[in-house]
Amino acid sequence: MPEVVSEVVPSIPQPLDPADDGSAPPAVAAALAAHQAGTADATDVLNALSGARLLVPVVAMLTESEVGAHGLRQEKESEMALPKLVGQDGRQAVLAFTGTEALVRWRPDARPIQATTLQVCQAAVQEKAAAVVVDVAGPVQFVIEGMVLEALAAIESGTVDRLEGATVARVEPAPTPAEIEPARRRRWLSRR
């Protein structure tokens, strides 16, 4: 089972859209549902995600506690932290969610920070994470990794011309079932 680690968030940015109600973007939800049903491929999901708002979770991390007047241990100081998923092979992934419903399904006490998909990918590359896992607890999990992750991060950072070997103008079609089999052994989460 993957482990979740946390890193301190230096400052929480202002929301992209203060009127955001936390719902999953309809185009993203539709693309993920179609992907799960087998009527859309990874390219369709990536196209829907490319301009979408995602929610990155932050959680309170206790840094210091004390024993209160009633003899109970209580929080004295805490910091906000960005949790990362750590796979069995030690690779790390940044978590992102399509909406608050998916975020609460994973961890009800997490607080959402709005970010574009490109910003999340750029942050993952900067943190040396191997992937971005979208909606880790469902309803449909989707992983962005490898050259696709690097390409999306490069678009956000403006370094597309320095990214060797990546095709940024288009995303390759989904792999065939024969190509998928070896990749299944590398899954971030096992379905037991």
pLDDT at 176: 46
Q: pTM of the full predicted structure?
A: 0.70
Q: How large is the angle between the packed helices 42-50 and 26-37, nearest 10 degrees?
A: 170
**β-pairing verdict for 73-86 and 92-96:** antiparallel
- Say which residues have a Cβ less than 8 Å from residue 149's Cβ, sequence separation at least 6: 121, 124, 125, 130, 131, 132
Concatenated DSSP letters of 79-121: EEEEEEEE-TTS-EEEEEBSSHHHHHHH-TT-EEEEEEHHHHH
pLDDT at 146: 94
Instruction: Going residue by residue through the chain, which has 192 residues, state the pLDDT in tens, using 9 for 90 and above.
Output: 566 555 544 444 555 677 889 999 999 999 999 999 999 999 999 999 988 999 999 887 656 656 667 777 665 555 677 888 998 899 999 999 999 999 999 999 999 999 999 999 999 999 899 999 999 999 999 999 999 999 999 887 666 544 444 433 333 344 444 544 444 444 454 443
Choose among 65, 51, 60, 30: nearest CA to 156.
51
